[in-house]
C-alpha cells in the first residue's frame, strides 16, 4: 500500500485517503495499513564543530497527529527538523518514513517522500501568481505551464482544506498569513503528507494565528502529520496532540496537553532544576545602587519591523542612571527593533523617545551617539564593525570626527594609534597589533574591541544586544565585568539578551517582550525564571499563579 | 561547475581578509598566466609568441621614443583610472568615465575657445582645468543623484550617459563648434596657444602626466589620512556600519561620484590641451573603459593605478608598434588586457573564498536566520 | 522637407530599419535571457564582434552563409562561457567581467581577423521575398522582403516570448532571476541554469554579430559592430525584459541608423545626434522609474539582477 504514498500525484493519494478514512482518529490513510508511524527518527546526532545540536534524539510521530516541538532558542528543534526536511544530513542516526528507511540528500528528496516544510521566511517568488509558484516546484514533464489545470486543482485543494487562497492572485498582493497558506497549499499540491512548521505563528497577527491553528487541526483530522515548532505555550496546548520538549540537544520530555500545563512546560523549557533558580541570583549579587535620574524614557512607542508588520506596540519603558534594564523574550518579539529605535537605526511610527531629558525621537544614529548613547549591536560584524579594515579603523568609528583623533580634515595618525592601543590594552583584546584586519580576530576579541570603543567617553546610556552571543567563556566574563563597572559608574543600561542567566546576573529589572508588547516588568533579584518563561510565552500573569505553581511544583 | 560538486556539509565561504602579500602574488600570477594564455592564442594563430612579446616590449620600452609614447598614453589612463578607483572603493560602479572624460574635454575646449580666448597661460590653463573638473564632475553627479535619491543602478545610468556625452561632442564638432577652416573635417578650431600644456623636451609627454601623479598622491593622502577618506572606506566596506556611525551616506555618494567624474574630466582636458589641441572626433579610443581595468588591476589603490596605467599604456604602445614591426594588428594589446582581467577575476577567488566545513557562527538553528543571499 | 518624406521614402526607411535592427535584436534577446536569469553581461559588444568575425570567417572558409551563422553561434557561446565561469561559477564581479569580455573580444576579433579584413564573403544572407506576403502593400515591403536572418529573428521573438512567459522552463528562468533562494528551495539548480542562460544568450549575441558581417555589411572589418552591443544592453531595460518590446526597440534603433543616413543623403539637416541620444536617455528614465517598487512590478525587472547567488546557510 505504501505505493499509494509514493505516487506524488496527490490527487490519487488524497482521494484514497479521504474516501476511505473512517474517522479522523485513524492514523494511516489508506487501508489496509501497517501501523507504521509516519516519522521515526532514531539516534539522530548532529554536531556543529564543538556544539552538539542534536544528541541521540529519538523522535516519532504517527499519522494524523499534531506534534509540537518546544524549547528555547538553540535547543536544537530547528536542526532536528532541518534534518527531517533534507537540509542537513545527520552525523548519525536513521530516519524512517511510514516504516521505510530513507536517506535525504536534498530538500527535494524529502519533498519526494512527502515531507514539506513551511519556513518562517517564505520561499515564494513575489511577482508570480500562486499557481506559478506551485508549478515551479512541480516535477512534471511537458513544456506548457498548464496553469488552468493547476489553478483548478489548487482551487479544489484550497476549498477542501479551507485555505481561502485564490490561485491567480500574485504573491506580493497577499498578506503574510495568506502567503503562509500558499506555502501550505503548495506542499499539499506537491504531495506532502508530513508538514513541518517552523514557528508559523511568529509572523502572524493573532487572528491569522487562530485561523492557522484551525487549519492545522483540520489537516491532522484528515490524516496528515503536522509538526509544529513553537515557543508559545498556550498555542501549543491548544493545537498539539503530543508535545516534545527539547533542551540542549536532547528531548527531555514528551507529553500530551492533558497530562501537563503551561507552568510545567515553561519549567521544562527553561530547563533548570529549582535549586539552581534559588542559588543563581545570589551568585553575583548586585550591590544596591540607588537609581538616579531617568536616562531613557520610551512613551507609547510603536514601530514597524522588516516584514512590514508592527514589531513594537505601545511600549513604555524607563531606564534610570545606574540601573540595568534587561529585556527578555523569544527571538523575533521586538527586541531587535527596540534596540534599533533607541539607537536611531529605525524610525518609530508613534510615541516618543527621551534620552537624558531631551526628545530624541527619530533622530539619526549619529545624533543619538553624540548624546552619549553606546550601542553594542546584535550582529557585530554586520553593523558595529568593519571586518575588512584594521583595528585602528574600527576603533575610531565613533571618535574619528572629534579631536584629538580628528585634526582639521585629517585623521591624526599618532592619536589614532595611541587611542587604539589604549582600547586594546584596557580591555585585553588579544591581537597581533592594531594593524591587523578585524576579521582575523576571534569573536570574543572582536566584541571586546567593540565594547571598548563604545564604553569610551563614559556613555550615559548603553544599549547592549546579545553582548556575549558566540563569545567564549573568558570573553563573556570580561564583557559582564565591563558592563557591571559601567552600572556602578552610573550608566543606564538596556540589556537585550536571550540568555536568561545573563539577564538575571546583570539586570536590576527585567522586562519581557512578547509580540512587541511589554508583558511585564519584574525585579531581577529573586525573579522566578518560570514566571519569566511564562511571560516570554505570552502568558499574562494571573492572580492564581502562585497557587498553581505550588500545585505543580 | 558552479557548486563544484561539493559534499553537502562543505561550503565556499568568505576567507578572512587576504594579506597584502598574497594579493600581490595573485596579481603577478594572473598576469603571468594571462601572458601564457595569450601566447597560446598567438601560437594557435600561427605567430611566434616570443617574437611578438619581444617586439611589444621593445616597441613600448626599447627606446626613448617608445617610453615617451607610453607616458603619453599613461596620462589619460591614470587620471580616469584614479576616478574609477575612488568610486569603486565606495562600491559605486561608475563605468561612465568615458563620457565624463568627453564632458571634461568639451568644457575645457569651450572655456578656451569662447570664454578666455585671449587670456594668458596662467589664467587659461587653470580655467580649463576648473572647467574640465566641473564638466566631468557634473556628468558624474548625474548617476550619483539617480543612485542616491532614486536608488537607480549607477552601472547602467553611467554607461548610458557615455553615449549621450560622445554624441553631444560629435554634435558640437560637426555643428556649432566646427572649424569652418577645416574643410568639413569634424573638429573645433585649435585652442589658443596659451592653453597648450607644456611638453617635456621634444617629446609628446606633457604636463598632464604630472596632473595624474599629483592626483594620485593627493588621493592617496585623502583616502588614507582624512576623515572623508575614512568615511568612503567604511561606506564601501560596510554600509550598515556607516549608518551606525551616523555617516552622511547620500552626500558622500554625490561627492564621490562628482570627484570620480572630475578626475575623468581632467583626463579629457589633458588630451585636448596636451595632445590634440582641439576637440575632435574619437578623442578617446576607450580610455574610460580601460580606466576600469586600471582601477581594478591596481586594486583600487592610487599607486596601484599609477603602476597599472603605465603597464597598460606600455601594452597599448607595444601593440601599436606591432603594426609597424611585424604587421600585426594593435588589437593584441586589448586581447591581452582582457585576458589579464579574466585571470585576475578568477584568481581573486583564491583570496576571497575558502573551502570549509559548515559551522554556524553562533546558533545551530539554521531556520532562525533569514535565507538572504549575500550582497554582491 | 515634406517633399522628400514621401510615402515611398518612409517605407524604404522602415524596411531598412528592420534590416539594420536585426543585429541589435539578436544581441538584445541574448542579453534579455541572460538578465532574466539574474546575470548582467556587459560583454555583449565583444561577443558580437567575435560572432561577426566567426560568421564572416566561417562563410569564407566553407562558402556557406549558414555555416558562418553556425560558427557565430558557437563563438558567441564560447565567449559567454567565460563570463558564466567567472560570474556564476566563481562569483566574480559581473561588471568587471563583462567589461573584460568586451575588451578581450574586441582585441581577439581584430587579431584573428587580421587576414580577412575587407575580404568579401562568398555568400551572405540576401533578401528573399516571401511569396504572397511580400506582395502585401506597405507591410510586405517592410517585413517580407528581407533576408533569412530577419525572418528567423521574427520567429525567435515569438518563440522567446512564448518560452519566457508560457513554459515551465521560462517560469524557472524568471524565478532564478527573481528570487534564486525560492527556486533553490524548489529543487532548481540555480547555478547550472544561470550558466546555461548566460551561454545561450552569448550564442544569440554572436549571431547578432553575424547578422552584420553576413547581412547588412558583408565581410569583416575591425570593430564593425560600432557600439551595437552596448545599445543591445540598454535596450533590454528599455524593453522591460520583454522579447516583443525588444523587437520594437531594436527597430527603433535600426530606424535611427537607417533614417539618419538616408535623411543626410536626402539633404535634410535634422541633427541625428540628438535623435540617437533619445534611446539612451529613455533607458535612464525607464531605469529610474523601475526603482519604485510598484513600477518595478509593472516593468518586471528581475529583482536579483546582478546579485550573485550563493547558498550560504543551506547546502
* C230-248 pLDDT, tens digit each: 889 888 887 888 999 999 8
SS3 assignment, position B217: helix
Please give the DSSP secondary-structure letter assigned to residue C8.
H
Pairing assessment for the beta strands A115-118 and A194-198 based on DSSP bridges: parallel
CA distances (Å), C72 to each of B52, C35, C55, in order?
A: 28, 21, 5
Given a contact cutoff of 8 angstroms between Cβ atoms, the answer to whether C82 and C28 are in contact is no
Length in residues, chain B: 376
Within 8 A by CB and 6+ apart from C166, the residues are: A144, A145
Asked whether the beta carbons of A349 and A516 are under 8 A apart, the reply is no
Q: Between A198, A387, A406, which is nearest B227 by CB?
A: A406
Chains touching C (at least 3 CB pairs under 8 A) are A, B
Note whether C222 contacts B331, CB cutoff 8 Å.
Answer: yes
What residue in C sits closest to A122 (Cα-Cα)?
A: C182
User: Which residue did the predictor score with more confidence, B376 or A370?
Assistant: A370
Predicted local confidence at residue C310, as pLDDT: 60
Interface mutation vs chain B, best among C44, C80, C85, C90, most B CBs within 10 Å: C90
Give strand pairing partners of A69. Answer: A229, A244
Closest chain A C-alpha to B246 CA, distance in angstroms: 4
A 10 A CB-CB count for A398 gives 21
Minimal C-alpha gap between C147 and chain B (Å): 30
Are β-strands A115-118 and A294-304 bridged in parallel, bridged antiparallel, or unpaired?
unpaired
pLDDT band at residue A553 under the 50/70/90 scheme: very low
C106: nearest Cα among C223, C19, C260, C215: C223
Q: Is the pLDDT score of A27 beyond 80?
A: no
CA–CA gap between residue B375 and residue A339 (Å, rounded): 24
What is the pLDDT, as a whole number, of residue A271?
Answer: 62
C-alpha to C-alpha distance for A191 and A9, rounded to whole angstroms: 7
pTM of the prediction?
0.81
- pLDDT of residue A300 exceeding 80, the answer is yes
Residue A40: phi and psi, rounded to 5, are: -140, 105
The average confidence (pLDDT) of chain A is 81
Q: What is the pLDDT of residue A11?
A: 35
| pLDDT given at position A186 | 92
CB A253 within 8 A of CB A244: yes
Q: What pLDDT is recorded for position A433?
A: 84
Sorting pLDDT into bands at 50, 70 and 90, what band is A413?
confident
| A97-153 pLDDT, tens digit each | 988 899 888 777 888 888 988 887 788 998 899 999 999 888 777 788 888 999 999
CB of A408 within 8 A of CB of A383?
no
CB–CB of B298/B74 below 8 Å?
no
The per-residue pLDDT for A509 is: 92
The per-residue pLDDT for C263 is: 67
Task: Note the pLDDT of residue A236.
Answer: 86
Q: Which of the residue ranges A115-129, A538-552, B48-62 would you say has the lowest mean pLDDT?
A: A538-552
Q: What is the pLDDT of residues B194-210, one digit of tens each?
A: 889 888 888 888 899 99
| Average pLDDT of the segment spanning C260-272 | 65
Question: Residue B177 and residue B128: Cα distance in Å, rounded?
Answer: 17
Q: In C, which residues are within 8 Å of A124 by CB distance?
A: 179, 182
pLDDT value, residue C285: 84
CB contact under 8 A, B244 and A119: no
pLDDT value, residue A24? 38
User: CA–CA separation, A398 vs A385, rounded Å?
Assistant: 11
- Give the pLDDT score at A258: 87
Mean pLDDT score across all residues of chain C? 86
Q: Please, which residues have CB within 8 angstroms of residue B67's CB and are 6 or more apart in sequence?
A: B60, B61
3-state class (DSSP) for residue A255: strand
Place of cell 482551487: A155
| Chain A residues within an 8 Å CB radius of B238 | 382, 385-388
Angle at C24 between CA C21 and CA C25, to 5 degrees: 80
* pLDDT value for A290: 66
What is the C-alpha radius of gyration for chain B, rounded to an integer number of angstroms? 23
More confident residue, A469 or A366: A366
Q: What is the per-residue pLDDT for B126?
A: 95
Report helix angle A443-455 to A473-489, nearest 10.
10
Looking at CA atoms only, how far is residue A147 from chain C in angstroms?
A: 9
Cα separation, C156 vs C25, whole angstroms:
10
In this structure, the strands spanning A242-247 and A66-70 are parallel
* CA–CA separation, A457 and A455 (whole Å): 6
Categorize the per-residue pLDDT at A288 as very low, low, confident or very high, splitting at 50, 70 and 90: low
Q: Is the ipTM of this complex over 0.90?
A: no
* Residue of chain B whose alpha carbon sits nearest to that of A51: B364
**Residue A552, CA atoms < 13 Å, CB-side half-sphere:** 16
Q: Which residues pair with A226 in a beta bridge?
A: A66, A195
The strand pairing partners of C167, in sequence order, are: A144
pLDDT exceeds cutoff 80 at A289: no
Closest listed residue to residue B312, CA positions, set B284, B334, B286: B334
Judge contact between A463 and A431, C-beta under 8 A: no
Q: Which of B168-177, B262-271, C208-217, C268-277 has the lowest mean pLDDT?
A: C268-277
Q: Is C240 on the interface with B (CB under 8 A)?
A: no
> What integer pLDDT is reported at residue B254 of this predicted model?
95
Classified as helix, coil or strand, A97 is strand
Q: Using the 8-state DSSP alphabet, how is residue C87 labeled?
A: I
Q: What is the pLDDT of residues B349-363, one digit of tens each?
A: 766 655 544 433 333
Per-chain mean pLDDT for chain B: 85
Query: Using the 8-state DSSP alphabet, how is residue B182 labeled?
Result: G
pLDDT level of residue B114 (50, 70, 90 thresholds): very high
**Which residues from C are below 8 Å from A145, CB to CB?**
166-168, 171
Mean pLDDT to the nearest integer, C149-168: 94
Which pLDDT band holds residue C91 (cuts at 50, 70, 90)?
confident
Range in A6-20, A491-505, B211-225 with the lowest mean pLDDT: A6-20
The beta-carbon neighbor of C167 closest among A106, A127, A145 is A145
Looking at per-residue pLDDT, the higher value among A256 and B8 belongs to A256
User: How confident is the model at residue C175, as a pLDDT?
Assistant: 93
CA distance B38 to B50: 11
Contact (Cβ atoms closer than 8 angstroms) between residue A487 and residue A289: yes
User: What's the pLDDT tens digit per position in A166-223?
Assistant: 999 998 888 878 888 999 999 999 888 999 998 887 767 667 788 888 888 988 998 9
pLDDT at A350 over 60: yes
Summarize the confidence of residues A305-318 as an average pLDDT.
85
Query: Which residues, other chains included, contact C6 with Cβ-Cβ below 8 Å and sequence gap of 6+?
Result: none
Residue carrying the nine cell digits 506576403: C133
Structural contact between residues A169 and A225, judged by C-beta atoms closer than 8 angstroms:
no
Q: What is the pLDDT of residues C53-86, one digit of tens each?
A: 999 999 999 999 999 999 999 999 999 999 999 9
Q: Determine the pLDDT at residue B376.
A: 32
pLDDT tens by residue, C105-144: 999 999 999 888 888 888 888 888 888 888 888 788 888 8
DSSP per-residue codes, A454-504: HHTT--SEEEEESTTTT--HHHHHHHHHHHHHHHHHT-EEEEE-S-HHHHH
Task: Check: CB of residue A64 under 8 Å from CB of residue A35.
Answer: no
Query: A17-20 — which CB contacts under 8 Å span 24+ positions?
Result: A17/A222, A17/A223, A18/A160, A18/A222
Spatial distance between the Cα atoms of C137 and C139, rounded to a whole number of angstroms? 6
Amino acid at each position: 500500500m505504501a505505493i499509494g504514498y509514493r505516487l506524488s500525484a496527490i490527487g490519487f493519494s488524497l482521494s484514497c485517503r479521504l474516501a476511505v478514512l473512517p474517522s479522523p482518529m485513524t492514523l494511516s490513510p489508506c487501508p489496509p495499513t501497517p501501523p507504521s508511524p509516519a516519522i521515526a527518527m532514531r539516534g539522530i546526532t548532529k554536531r556543529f564543530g564543538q556544539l552538539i545540536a542534536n544528541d541521540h534524539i529519538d523522535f516519532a510521530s504517527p499519522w494524523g497527529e499534531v506534534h509540537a516541538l518546544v524549547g528555547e532558542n538553540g535547543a536544537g528543534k530547528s536542526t532536528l527538523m532541518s534534518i527531517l526536511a533534507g537540509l542537513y544530513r545527520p552525523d548519525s542516526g536513521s530516519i524512517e518514513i511510514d516504516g521505510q528507511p530513507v536517506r535525504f540528500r536534498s530538500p527535494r528528496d524529502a519533498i519526494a517522500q512527502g515531507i514539506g516544510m513551511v519556513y518562517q521566511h517564505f520561499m515564494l517568488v513575489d511577482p508570480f501568481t500562486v499557481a506559478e509558484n506551485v508549478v515551479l516546484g512541480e516535477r512534471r514533464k511537458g513544456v506548457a505551464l498548464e496553469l488552468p489545470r493547476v489553478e483548478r486543482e489548487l482551487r479544489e485543494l484550497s476549498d477542501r482544506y479551507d485555505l481561502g487562497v485564490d490561485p491567480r492572485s500574485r504573491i506580493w498582493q497577499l498578506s503574510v498569513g495568506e502567503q503562509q497558506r500558499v506555502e501550505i497549499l503548495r506542499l499539499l499540491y506537491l504531495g506532502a503528507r508530513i508538514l513541518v512548521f517552523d514557528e508559523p505563528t511568529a509572523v502572524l497577527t493573532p487572528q491569522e494565528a487562530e485561523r492557522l491553528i484551525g487549519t492545522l487541526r483540520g489537516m491532522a483530522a484528515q490524516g496528515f502529520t503536522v509538526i509544529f515548532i513553537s515557543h508559545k505555550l498556550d498555542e501549543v496546548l491548544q493545537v498539539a496532540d503530543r508535545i516534545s520538549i527539547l533542551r540542549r540537544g536532547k528531548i527531555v520530555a514528551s507529553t500530551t496537553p492533558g497530562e501537563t500545563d503551561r507552568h510545567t512546560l515553561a519549567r521544562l523549557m527553561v530547563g533548570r532544576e529549582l535549586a539552581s533558580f534559588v542559588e543563581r541570583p545570589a551568585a553575583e549579587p548586585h550591590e544596591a545602587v540607588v537609581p538616579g535620574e531617568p536616562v531613557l524614557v520610551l512613551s507609547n512607542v510603536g514601530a514597524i519591523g522588516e516584514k512590514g508588520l508592527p514589531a513594537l506596540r505601545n511600549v513604555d519603558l524607563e531606564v534610570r542612571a545606574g540601573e540595568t534594564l534587561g529585556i527578555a523574550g523569544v527571538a523575533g518579539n521586538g527586541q531587535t527593533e527596540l534596540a534599533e529605535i533607541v539607537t536611531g537605526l529605525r524610525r518609530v511610527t508613534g510615541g516618543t523617545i527621551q534620552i537624558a531629558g531631551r526628545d530624541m525621537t527619530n533622530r539619526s544614529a549619529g545624533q543619538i551617539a553624540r548624546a552619549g548613547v553606546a550601542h553594542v549591536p546584535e550582529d557585530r560584524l554586520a553593523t558595529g564593525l568593519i571586518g575588512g579594515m584594521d583595528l585602528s579603523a574600527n576603533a575610531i568609528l565613533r571618535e574619528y570626527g572629534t579631536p584629538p583623533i580628528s585634526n582639521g580634515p585629517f585623521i591624526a595618525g599618532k592619536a589614532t594609534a595611541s587611542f587604539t592601543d589604549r582600547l586594546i590594552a584596557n580591555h585585553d583584546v588579544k591581537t597581533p597589533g592594531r594593524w591587523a584586519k578585524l576579521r582575523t580576530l576571534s569573536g570574543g576579541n572582536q566584541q571586546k574591541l567593540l565594547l571598548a570603543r563604545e564604553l569610551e567617553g563614559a556613555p550615559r546610556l548603553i544599549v547592549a544586544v546579545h553582548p556575549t552571543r558566540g563569545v567564549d567563556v573568558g570573553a563573556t566574563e570580561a564583557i559582564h565585568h565591563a558592563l557591571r563597572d559601567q552600572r556602578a559608574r552610573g550608566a543606564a543600561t538596556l540589556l537585550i539578551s536571550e540568555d536568561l542567566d545573563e539577564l538575571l546576573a546583570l539586570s536590576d529589572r527585567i522586562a519581557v517582550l512578547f509580540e512587541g508588547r511589554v508583558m511585564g516588568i519584574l525585579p531581577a533579584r529573586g525573579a522566578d525564571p518560570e514566571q519569566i518563561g511564562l511571560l516570554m510565552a505570552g502568558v499574562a500573569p494571573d492572580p492564581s499563579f502562585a497557587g498553581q505553581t505550588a500545585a505543580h511544583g | 561547475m558552479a557548486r563544484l560538486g561539493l559534499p553537502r556539509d562543505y561550503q565556499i565561504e568568505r576567507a578572512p581578509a587576504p594579506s597584502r602579500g598574497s594579493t600581490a602574488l595573485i596579481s603577478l600570477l594572473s598576469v603571468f598566466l594571462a601572458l601564457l594564455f595569450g601566447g597560446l592564442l598567438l601560437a594557435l594563430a600561427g605567430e611566434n609568441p616570443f617574437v611578438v612579446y619581444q617586439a611589444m616590449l621593445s616597441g613600448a620600452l626599447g627606446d626613448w621614443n617608445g617610453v615617451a609614447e607610453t607616458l603619453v598614453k599613461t596620462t589619460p589612463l591614470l587620471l580616469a583610472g584614479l576616478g574609477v578607483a575612488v568610486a569603486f572603493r565606495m562600491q559605486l560602479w561608475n563605468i561612465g568615465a568615458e563620457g565624463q572624460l568627453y564632458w571634461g574635454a568639451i568644457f575645457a575646449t569651450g572655456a578656451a575657445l569662447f570664454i578666455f580666448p585671449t587670456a594668458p597661460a596662467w589664467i587659461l590653463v587653470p580655467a580649463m582645468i576648473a572647467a574640465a573638473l566641473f564638466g566631468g564632475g557634473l556628468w558624474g553627479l548625474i548617476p550619483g543623484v539617480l543612485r542616491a535619491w532614486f536608488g537607480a543602478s549607477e552601472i547602467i545610468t553611467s554607461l548610458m550617459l557615455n553615449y549621450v556625452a560622445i554624441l553631444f561632442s560629435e554634435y558640437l564638432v560637426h555643428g556649432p563648434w566646427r572649424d569652418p577652416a577645416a574643410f568639413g573635417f569634424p573638429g573645433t578650431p585649435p585652442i589658443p596657444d596659451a592653453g597648450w600644456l607644456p611638453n617635456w623636451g621634444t617629446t609628446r609627454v606633457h604636463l598632464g602626466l604630472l596632473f595624474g601623479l599629483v592626483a594620485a598622491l593627493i588621493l592617496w593622502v585623502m583616502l588614507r589620512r582624512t576623515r572623508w577618506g575614512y568615511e568612503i572606506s567604511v561606506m564601501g566596506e560596510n554600509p550598515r556600519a556607516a549608518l551606525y556611525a551616523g555617516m552622511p551616506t547620500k552626500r558622500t555618494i554625490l561627492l564621490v561620484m562628482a570627484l570620480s567624474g572630475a578626475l575623468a574630466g581632467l583626463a579629457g582636458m589633458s588630451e585636448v590641451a596636451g595632445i590634440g589641441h582641439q576637440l575632435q572626433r574619437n578623442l578617446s579610443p576607450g580610455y574610460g573603459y580601460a580606466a576600469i581595468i586600471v582601477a581594478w588591476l591596481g586594486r583600487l589603490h592610487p599607486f596601484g593605478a599609477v603602476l597599472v596605467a603605465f603597464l597598460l599604456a606600455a601594452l597599448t604602445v607595444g601593440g601599436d608598434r606591432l603594426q609597424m614591426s611585424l604587421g600585426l594588428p594593435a588589437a593584441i594589446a586589448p586581447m591581452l588586457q582582457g585576458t589579464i582581467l579574466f585571470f585576475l577575476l578568477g584568481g581573486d577567488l583564491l583570496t576571497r573564498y575558502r573551502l570549509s566545513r559548515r559551522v554556524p557562527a553562533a546558533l545551530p538553528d539554521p531556520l532562525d536566520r533569514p535565507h538572504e543571499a549575500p550582497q554582491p | 522637407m515634406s517633399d522628400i518624406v514621401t510615402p515611398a521614402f518612409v517605407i524604404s526607411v522602415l524596411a531598412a530599419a528592420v534590416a539594420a535592427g536585426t543585429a541589435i535584436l539578436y544581441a538584445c534577446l541574448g542579453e534579455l535571457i541572460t538578465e532574466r536569469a539574474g546575470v548582467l553581461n556587459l560583454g555583449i559588444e565583444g561577443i558580437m564582434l567575435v560572432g561577426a568575425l566567426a560568421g564572416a570567417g566561417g562563410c569564407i572558409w566553407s562558402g556557406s552563409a549558414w555555416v558562418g551563422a553556425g560558427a557565430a553561434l558557437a563563438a558567441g557561446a564560447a565567449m559567454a562561457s567565460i563570463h558564466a565561469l567567472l560570474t556564476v561559477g566563481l562569483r566574480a564581479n559581473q561588471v568587471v567581467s563583462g567589461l573584460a569580455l568586451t575588451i578581450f573580444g574586441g582585441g581577439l576579433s581584430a587579431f584573428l581577423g587580421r587576414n580577412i579584413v575587407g575580404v568579401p564573403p562568398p555568400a551572405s544572407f540576401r533578401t528573399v521575398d516571401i511569396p504572397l506576403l511580400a506582395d502585401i502593400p506597405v507591410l510586405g515591403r517592410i517585413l517580407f522582403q528581407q533576408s533569412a536572418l530577419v525572418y528567423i529573428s521574427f520567429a525567435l521573438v515569438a518563440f522567446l516570448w512564448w518560452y519566457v512567459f508560457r513554459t515551465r522552463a521560462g517560469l524557472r528562468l524568471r524565478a532564478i532571476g527573481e528570487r534564486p533562494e525560492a527556486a533553490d528551495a524548489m529543487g532548481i539548480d540555480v547555478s547550472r541554469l544561470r550558466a546555461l542562460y548566460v551561454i545561450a544568450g552569448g550564442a544569440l549575441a554572436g549571431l547578432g554579430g553575424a547578422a552584420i558581417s553576413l547581412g547588412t555589411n558583408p565581410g569583416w572589418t575591425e570593430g564593425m559592430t560600432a557600439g551595437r552591443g552596448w545599445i543591445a544592453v540598454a535596450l533590454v531595460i528599455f524593453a522591460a525584459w520583454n522579447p516583443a518590446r525588444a523587437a520594437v526597440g531594436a527597430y527603433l534603433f535600426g530606424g535611427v541608423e537607417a533614417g539618419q543616413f538616408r535623411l543626410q543623403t536626402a539633404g535634410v539637416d535634422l541633427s541625428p545626434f540628438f535623435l540617437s541620444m533619445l534611446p539612451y536617455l529613455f533607458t535612464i528614465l525607464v531605469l529610474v522609474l523601475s526603482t519604485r517598487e510598484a513600477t518595478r512590478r509593472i516593468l518586471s525587472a528581475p529583482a536579483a539582477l546582478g546579485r550573485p547567488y550563493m547558498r550560504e546557510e543551506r547546502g
